[in-house]
Structure 1
Amino acid sequence: MKIVVKVGTSTLAHATGRLNIRRVEALVKVLSDLKNQGHELILVSSGAIGMGVGKLNLPGRPADMPTKQAAAAVGQCELMYTYDKLFGAYNHTVAQLLLTAEDVSFPQRRQNFVNAMERLLQLNALPIVNENDAVATDEVGVSTTIGENDTLSAIVAQCVGADLLVLLSDIDGLYTADPRRDDHAALIPEVREITPELKGLAGAAGSALGTGGMATKLRAAELAMACGCDMVITNGQRPELLYDIAAGGPVGTRFVGRGKNQ
């Protein structure tokens, strides 16, 4: 299968912004093994700003745009250095692609991105995609940002014709209520249609270092399902669950792609 895996800041980093080494090493090992099985893997990785915060010893996520840009520039180097080193240990070559909204909204630039991705996969490389947060800002009156990587990962899945999109988050899936506040909250194992009631279950808040929340994940699910791609939300604390997810196992919440509803 062609699988897009999105990993969030809460999975990659500790609350300090520093890299969660054990978690990232486990994730890379599983992704490398899935690639060895013959799957085509694309990683959409958050974490540049969060890791830049830690690297620059800032007190928290910056509020002003120039410091966010600086943190992203520093953190992206840290991210790719880490991925290159860890995937290299399993003899896999990584590639970096940094995007803005214009890169996927203008037809020619979108096609350029698709061409690059397809060729990288043909060459057996593992593309690692992130938003270009060092330059993608909306302060000049032009919408250049996608905003968060849940949506970006769904766009990537659309562009490459992925079979499966997996969002690794800090929650086990979509619940009937917030499980951190309601002991009676129940996991919803499968979704075949995004209804207004489902959207009503989604809160807006992400983690202190990240930007996503359940609402952004449901928007990503709509994009993925519309192009026939399954999407799974699961907890990134256990990367080994990717084996079961790739095999179609009941992990997290699976959103069934359109055309698979028979």
Structure 2
Amino acid sequence: MSRELLKNAERIVIKVGTNSIMKDSNQVNLRQLDRIAFVISSLMQEGKEVLLVTSGAIGVGSSLLKLEEYPKEIPDQQALSSIGQSTLMTLYSQFFSSYGQTVGQILFTRDVIDFPVSYENMQNALNRLLDLKILPIINENDAVSVDEMNHYTMFGDNDTLSAVVAKTIDADLLIILSDVDGLYDDNPASNPDARLIDHVTEITQDTHDMAAGKGSEFSKGGMTTKLNAAEIMLDYGAQMIIASSENPSCIFDILDGDSIGTLFSKGE
């Protein structure tokens, strides 16, 4: 029943992670960006309202500088984000333009959400972009966000950011494309018998216990942050899917109600 409801999703947030757009630490996956642009442009041509939350600024910055190792110091990461963000947006703009789709960039910090006036401004900006049939491309402003002392300006990861964005604009569905197929009952990398879970109706401690650690060196969260995002979506009564980013065209199948990835929704 819940999978059938996905056919009715009209306002959709799609989140892609760094692993999904990088071939390795020194190469952007241009073919993958093109696929993402094609899928989202097609959905918008069909009348869907789509927002894209993207990671990758730090990864792209690292590739531009051809770094052999991911830096650990915050100022280095902020610098990489600044370098990579403009290139990442340029790439997205070029690929989406080839499909006739205009994009707009939105960079957030957590304080935008925490203050009513800025929160309303954010809602207005996102809704107006959607009214104009423009794709909002959203990322955290890592170049100025911090996560130390008592500064509470970071979302900490784009999984959480994508769920906050979805809640803010009352999206019907959040699709998180990842380097994993969905939530498994055990770590599939070490247990070949691990089972992909099709449907989760609530997030419990047992659910969190299934979550693995971080993915690549550029990942901020892994499955744990995706479950945090799922909690936000379930709390406000919307649906979320975790699916593999290997072939972004799976989004078409998801919206046709096919059983792909792990669905998080209340009810049977």
TM-score, structure 1 as length reference: 0.96
| Letter aligned with residue 88 of structure 1 | S
Residues of 1 paired with 2:12 and 2:246: CA distance?
19
Cα displacement (A) at 1:16 = 2.2
Q: Give the counterpart letter for 1:228 in structure 2.
A: G
Tell me what 1:84 maps to.
Answer: 93
Match of 1:55 in 2: 64
Q: Once structures 1 and 2 are overlaid, which stretch shifts more, 242-251 or 68-77?
A: 242-251
- Which residue number corresponds to residue 41 of structure 2? 32
> What code does the residue aligned with 1:214 have?
M
Indicate the RMSD between aligned Cα atoms, in angstroms: 1.1
After superposition, where does 1:1-262 map in structure 2 within 5 Å?
1-139=10-148, 141-256=150-265, 258=266, 261=267
Q: What is the Cα deviation at residue 140 of structure 1?
A: 5.3
- Which residue identity is paired with 2:177? L
Q: Distance in 2 between matches of 1:2 and 1:36?
A: 13
SS class of match (1:76): helix
* Residue pair 1:15, 1:209 contacting (<8 A) in 2 also: no
Going from structure 1 to structure 2, the CA distance change for 1:17 and 1:160 (only over 3 Å counts) comes to farther
User: What CA distance in whole angstroms lies between the structure 2 residues aligned with 1:167 and 1:212?
Assistant: 13
Q: Residue by residue, what CA displacement relative to the aligned partner does 1:122-173 show, whole Å, maximum 9, x if unpaired? A: 0110000000000001345311111100000000000010001000000000
Partners of 1:17 and 1:129 lie apart in 2 by: 23
C-alpha separation in 2, matches of 1:213 and 1:198? 14
For the Cα contact (< 8 Å) 2:185–2:197, is it kept in 1?
A: yes
**Greater relative contact order structure (CA < 8 Å, 6+ sep):** 2
Deviation per CA, 1:187-246, whole angstroms, max 9, x where unpaired?
001111112111110123221122121110000000011112110000101101000112
Distance 1:245 1:76 in 2: 29
Aligned 8 A contact 2:44 2:133 in 1: no
- Unaligned 5+ segments in structure 2 are 1-9
- TM-score, reference length from structure 2: 0.94
Gaps of 5+ in 1: none
Other-structure match for 2:3: none
CA distance in 1, matches of 2:193, 2:149: 46
Which whole-Å deviations, capped at 9, do the CAs of 1:9-55 have from their partners, x for residues lacking one? Answer: 00000222421011111111111111111110100000000110011
- Larger CA deviation: 80-89 vs 240-249: 240-249
Query: Counterpart amino acid of 1:195?
Result: T
How far apart in 2 are the matches of 1:169 and 1:102? 27
Q: Match of 1:86, SS?
A: helix
Separation in structure 2 between the aligned mates of residue 48 and residue 246 of structure 1, nearest angstrom:
28
Indicate the SS of the match to 1:194: coil
Aligned residues: 259
> What is the percent sequence identity of the aligned residues?
42
